[in-house]
Structure 1
């Protein structure tokens, strides 16, 4: 019975202190910890009463009380606490001592002036809050009093010596820091111990100057070292000199010091500080201001610290999309920040947002998602692509805006390896047949033909035999010259999927009609393609035993593996060699099937019996091909270019207006 009331309160504490993680921080020992219920990481400051003096215990208890009552974004946040006869426990957000952080960043080549500028801004803001709003003096400001959270934000801690500026009305005076730690005397301003000379903040800003010196130069050996500027940036020097000036009455109020450093050209006047200040007030900003901010943010992210991007910018981007109607403007910075995440973090934080974005009716959102798909396609699993993304993407094939139709076609290069049997061999072929035959935009018809040639390795054998020849033949009759070129190159790129009989009876007659094409580029390509197919026929005629080798891929339904990141280069840049990329990415493999009857592209929706799956691409190196089957990528096919005129003619402004 009595044992129930005598339970150890430490055992019932909601936080667990992790072993071997202690680090000395003034009176306290800093430990890493976690919440027992959900494993949330925290920091635990512990003070052992038995190991301290009465003065130190008095200071620790004073800090414990102050932590509960002082709330400010730039002051170390109190989460929980426990006070027993033996120990004091202070639980805060997860932080690292500034000295440890600076050392770790220096080893990684980090801690540039941008990060330090924002960190100093935060500490001066906290000091100004204490002095001007709370009428309190910190009395213990220094490198040891600053902590850094996961986002790289600097927090003011070590509240052991905080006291009212006019003294404690209860009459209980806290011991001065140097009476507890004699080595801290070097941080005292020269007018000490006569503290009545100068403004109330004179000693606070002097110690702020000491902190600045140590941030850039390391531990302060003696007070006289403050005269040597060392590595303090030039933009900060005049303001630093005001802080450590001999005349205490001339030292600026923390608020004025902040204002001076924020002036144009000042150390605290830069894109990083401006971005942070905007993010802190983003909830009260106008929609137009948010739009402009996110547009500018994308250009600045490359120079911002990685932890800041992951832990501060990313949550704001996700919130802006989820609740702030930010729309497509968040996509570019979102994907830039995504590069800093692990695969697991990307799956948890970015992918759910992307999936939701695809269901948006915002056209600008849709087209930017399609344009930037290469940045996130690797993180999308096949189930999500087929059930949650592809059903929304296909609406782009019938969109009235040509830019969206064209970008939807190009996106299939990335989605094809993840599409299932029905979506790839039936649904997609149905849309391709309609676009190639009926779209009024020549570049879209052309790009549809090119895309069909590139995704041919993913189609099952039955679909390939029904669709490819009729689709490329149709392209050779297109009034748009680039489409006719794409038809010829489509035959060339997929040459290994045609039987000798098909080559002789269906492909060569089609190519021969192009030898009198009005466009010389088309004629030249047709002649080269004819020579290649004739070489194949001649090889079999001379040695019939080679027929099986030449037709080994005709009935193949092998799944290509491995996707080349540059595979879709033509679709992104809009101007590059088609055949080079088409032919280099034409793998093959074994399986059954046979020649199909001549059928138009519109008949490509018939069900097939080939294998299911989400194949990926394998770049083939056909060193064993007969000489007639080899293509000179640079000489033969270097003159054909994809036209991206649809995208340039229809800007995002027009897109949004429509």
Structure 2
């Protein structure tokens, strides 16, 4: 039976047996995933067919030369194609050993065998007991070659193809079975000595090659593969290039594997990479999904060292379902080098899958950004630098000014005050000007850092005479505008104060704010000025109203003080 023959005769070019069972009077056979050749033959090019025929011929050579059995039913329906494009020989229903091969056996099976592959003279062979027993399969192979190439119009893709077809028709189907060539001689035909066939054969027979032969082969392999269509190389040689024997070879790891596992982008035309991204995804990626689960340290290290080159050829789901679980297993190994390389690979997965997926568990913000925040008002002291959101052009203009120019402009713009009523006729104006000059020179609160002149440049003239830090902080933009604008705009942008007298009184409040009790509170004269220091109403800010209210509240008379008793004349004794 076919399943017994598949179990007994194992070869890389024969369909792989998996299992078989019987249920409800039916028999089931499980083999590797394959597709009948008839379903894919129209899609194959000449080179792929050439490689496939070579595989079938090697399977027949194995059966006849090593196992001493005859297949007896070589045809398209007995050949299958794997997912990677390799041809596999099946249809073992009529296989028999040489000693069982007879005319009676052939007569019984003739009705079920492919009629075009049946030799009409096969019964005559058994007259001679010493006759060859491979003549049936040799004849059928000649018929197979004719059928797979009969619809092909061009033979230019593979050299010696037309010669080989004539050879199969005239020699393999010779009327005299004794004149037909043996299978080993067919393998030596020039058609099967094609460069691509030689590479394919060497990779299959790699375990039988010497170290020197392997070294010479792998060093020249990249250049030889680039001579052929990349899709043909990937479909026919992809599995062989990613086999264990290749991946574990030291020379191959240096000369072929990096170019094999690195896809080339569409922009890269002249590169040593073998496969484009589309070809890589179609043929190489499925194989890598299988290899990543192999628990071999050397193979795992080889994949991880090249992981960053091909990781973007997989979807997020594939990376999470296939690669991530295997990497998490790798970090628990006792091999320190394997663990370190695995951790680096996990780091490459973080930008793609996210840290929560890669490391799992709960996360928290444990680190802060320690970079200094440029021009942040929160880090500046409230006194000395009241402006917010300083524009770079304005800031440069401010830094170029000096304190002397600001004071001079203030003296030029400040209008002359008219003479007040009362006894302060000769001294009030001079005292105010002297008080302002002294404040500019001796105000200790301004001496907060080494950049004294820069801090003063940032303040307006109105900020120099203010004593409240909150007022300076809330209205700093007015100070900036007063420096950048012209001298006329500077005068109009100053904060409004009801009277110059209030400046004098304000200065006194600044100096005496720490006194516990003012003994001369009731002796303060009430001065009614005859004129006010007026500023253009059009440019007056809403802030000035707040200042007037605050200053007026400080000078307002408290009605509760009227009921207090003053000092009598007797208290002086």
Q: TM-score range by the shorter chain?
A: 0.3 to 0.5
- Structure of larger gyration radius: 2
TM-score (norm 2): 0.45
TM-score (norm 1): 0.40
